[in-house]
Amino acid sequence: MSPQASDTEPSVSETLEFDYVIVGAGSAGCVLANRLSADGKHSVLLLEAGPKDTNLWIHVPLGYGRLFKAKSVNWMYLTEPEAELNGRSVFQPRGKVLGGSSSINGLLYVRGQHADYDRWRQRGNQGWGFDDVLPYFKKAEDQQRGADDFHGAGGPLPVSDLGHPDPLSAAFIAAAVETGLPLNRDFNGTSQEGAGFFQTTTRYGRRASTAVAYLRPARHRGNLRIETSAPAERIAFDGRRAQAVVYRQGGVLRTARARREILISGGAFNSPQLLQLSGIGPADLLRRHGIDVVLDAPGVGHDLQDHLQVRVVMRCSQRITLNDIVNSPFRKVLTGVRYAAFRSGPLTIAAGTSGAFFKTDPRLSTPDIQVHFLPFSTDKMGEKLHAFSGFSASVCQLRPESRGSLRIRSADPAAAPEIRINYLSTEVDRTANVEGLKILRKILQAPALRPYVVEEVDPGAKVVSDEALLNYCRARGSTIYHPTSTCRMGNDPLAVVDQRLRLRGIEGLRVVDASVMPDLVSGNTNAPVIMIAEKASDMILGDAR
């Protein structure tokens, strides 16, 4: 499938040496590995905790449903009991495989709003305003519709239109327009507001993870070495200079020294975990676990943010949903054959077919809610689809105020960290979710969808008052898989990295992944992480000159 790991195992005593050592071959790490090794001048080691991406379901778009609970490629984290979600722990899948979460995600290509990046700049992060980051979105992109003011063509990352526009998803858009939302052909163009079809990171009906888009073309370079099933356990320091990465492979501890820099791209949960295990984090926490403090950095693991999603399930009057296909052995086989022969049909469906962005309060300048529409329904993602004909749409508040934390539980690198998101812990967040549900319901009741609707199954007609809707959010709300900001970029005392993503107070160490976002963007997070890694590559190579 994609990149080959090296066949030559180093001996136990061997210490490898490279210009750059990258920890984590996820959305960000694969971009870095490609860009930093491209001119052949630098040697690069890419370490990935998980295996190669040989699981066939990775490459079939709808296969993400099979990967939610696939232990072989997924860290499968759980949050602590969430106080505002009736004490429920929320399941948090994360890719543990070449491509990282881009190998198991929902494939939607949404960058967020221009204002997100301008806000980053306003918070003092020079060089991260929308005009600054747009060239990097374009550089990454191979847009099926061609290049324009907002899009690039010819980049490594294919961005494609939906291969399988079904009548329900189109009816959702028409219904949203009937309620007064504008039709939007491009959520990544001039304005995000409105309803339309999503674009996906796919090509010819196959997933384009960063392992496929960035690593596969680079894998034969003599100056790039890729090691899989090789979790980094800690970073070794000489004073305050990061020197080497200690990792475990085949039961053996190995050391890789970095002549220039170590780049941590383990994602929003694992990057702060690795820093804390290495002695960079809140000093009291580290001491409690017997870890020598290299740098007291209280911001490491602070400010964890995530998007909550609350789903509405509808019973459909026609047997045209994915539920009907999955529940019919004959139609299931037909769908498989269609995909195998033409790479088309329902197996090309991503985590949303159509969607909408709207404001719950007209005084807002940009949308605060994203809706993902899907022509199927289930109680929980990754579990069986309903036996009845059904479809669903979820509300996702785009800029939550709630903040959580990530802290190690022990000095054992194999122990899962303690994850607290604190969903719905502010009034603004609770109100946005309730108001978002009310607006989504209006769309689902609009004329264009009427021919397809029997009834609302969840939350159901009896759930009407604000209080009842909030209770539904508490009982059923779940993640939409966008944790960020645990090693936040900024200038304040809790900021972990500076605007060049260098770890404050440490030499030779950068963090490059979703954890550096100053705050969560108003959309899906894969495209923004790839942009961050494209920009980081330029900065790293610039600093090497």
* Window of 7-15, 97-105, 113-121, 363-371 that interacts with ligand FAD by CB under 6 A: 97-105
Smallest distance, ligand FAD to C-beta of residue 170, A: 20
CB 374 within 8 A of CB 354: no
End-to-end CA distance of the chain: 35
Residue from 102, 188, 397, 485 that binds ligand FAD (CB under 6 A)? 102
Structure tokens at 383: 């579990």
Using the rule CB under 6 A, is 96 a contact of ligand FAD?
yes
- Measured from each CB, the residue nearest to ligand FAD is 26
Cβ nearer to ligand FAD, comparing 266 with 459: 266
Residue from 265, 353, 377, 392 that binds ligand FAD (CB under 6 A)? 265
Residues of span 151-190 touching ligand FAD by CB under 6 A = none
d(CA 52, CA 268): 21
d(CA 516, CA 497): 7
Specify the pairing of strand 202-203 against strand 206-207.
antiparallel
Using the rule CB under 6 A, is 113 a contact of ligand FAD?
no
Structure tokens at 47: 């370490």
372 labelled catalytic: no
* Window of 47-55, 117-125, 295-303, 309-317 that interacts with ligand FAD by CB under 6 A: 47-55
Structure tokens at 141: 């992109």
* Window of 9-17, 268-276, 422-430, 498-506 that interacts with ligand FAD by CB under 6 A: 268-276
**DSSP 8-class letter at 134:** H
* Window of 51-59, 87-95, 362-370, 441-449 that interacts with ligand FAD by CB under 6 A: 87-95
Smallest distance, ligand FAD to C-beta of residue 446, A: 25
d(CA 37, CA 41): 7
Structure tokens at 249: 């492979």
* Window of 54-62, 264-272, 448-456, 486-494 that interacts with ligand FAD by CB under 6 A: 264-272
Cβ nearer to ligand FAD, comparing 254 with 441: 254
Residue from 286, 351, 501, 517 that binds ligand FAD (CB under 6 A)? 351
- Report the largest interatomic distance among the alpha carbons of the chain, rounded to a whole angstrom: 71
Cβ nearer to ligand FAD, comparing 312 with 487: 487
Cβ nearer to ligand FAD, comparing 179 with 485: 485
Residues of span 483-542 touching ligand FAD by CB under 6 A = 513-514, 524-527, 529
Cβ nearer to ligand FAD, comparing 107 with 134: 107
Contacts of 486 (CB under 8 A, 6+ apart): 268, 269, 271, 272, 300, 301, 302, 303, 304, 405, 406, 515
Using the rule CB under 6 A, is 61 a contact of ligand FAD?
no
| Binding track, positions 269-308, relative to ligand FAD; x by CB under 6 A | -x---x----------------------------------
Using the rule CB under 6 A, is 345 a contact of ligand FAD?
no
Residue from 2, 34, 79, 101 that binds ligand FAD (CB under 6 A)? 101
Smallest distance, ligand FAD to C-beta of residue 456, A: 25
Q: State whether the Cα torsion 13-14-18-20 is positive or negative.
A: negative
Which letter, b or e, does each residue of 486-512 get, where b requires 16 or more Cβ atoms within 10 Å of its Cβ?
A: bbbbbeeeebbbbbebbbbebebbbbb
Using the rule CB under 6 A, is 482 a contact of ligand FAD?
yes
Catalytic residue among 151, 307, 386, 482: 482
Residue from 156, 196, 267, 272 that binds ligand FAD (CB under 6 A)? 267
SS3 label, residue 232:
strand
Cβ nearer to ligand FAD, comparing 129 with 382: 382
**DSSP 8-class letter at 545:** -
Cβ nearer to ligand FAD, comparing 37 with 201: 201
d(CA 459, CA 473): 9
d(CA 475, CA 478): 9
Contacts of 532 (CB under 8 A, 6+ apart): 28, 501, 512, 513, 514, 516, 517
Cβ nearer to ligand FAD, comparing 377 with 524: 524
Cβ nearer to ligand FAD, comparing 142 with 513: 513
Find out whether the peptide bond into 367 is cis, omega within 30 degrees of 0.
no
Smallest distance, ligand FAD to C-beta of residue 142, A: 16
DSSP character string of 30-91: HHHHHHHHTTSSS-EEEE-SS--S--GGGGSGGGHHHHTT-GGGB--EEPPPBGGGTTB--E
SS3 label, residue 366:
coil
Cβ nearer to ligand FAD, comparing 157 with 177: 157
d(CA 448, CA 172): 7
SS3 label, residue 106:
coil
* Among the listed residues 185, 284, 300, the one whose alpha carbon sits nearest the alpha carbon of residue 235: 300
Smallest distance, ligand FAD to C-beta of residue 30, A: 8
Residues of span 13-32 touching ligand FAD by CB under 6 A = 23-29
* Window of 8-16, 100-108, 185-193, 396-404 that interacts with ligand FAD by CB under 6 A: 100-108
* Among the listed residues 9, 17, 18, 34, the one whose alpha carbon sits nearest the alpha carbon of residue 99: 34
Using the rule CB under 6 A, is 266 a contact of ligand FAD?
yes
Cβ nearer to ligand FAD, comparing 347 with 529: 529
Residue from 44, 85, 134, 232 that binds ligand FAD (CB under 6 A)? 232
Using the rule CB under 6 A, is 65 a contact of ligand FAD?
no
Smallest distance, ligand FAD to C-beta of residue 234, A: 9
Name the site residues for ligand FAD (rule: CB under 6 A). Answer: 23-29, 47-50, 93-96, 100-102, 104-108, 231-232, 265-268, 270, 274, 351, 481-482, 513-514, 524-527, 529
Active-site residue list: 482
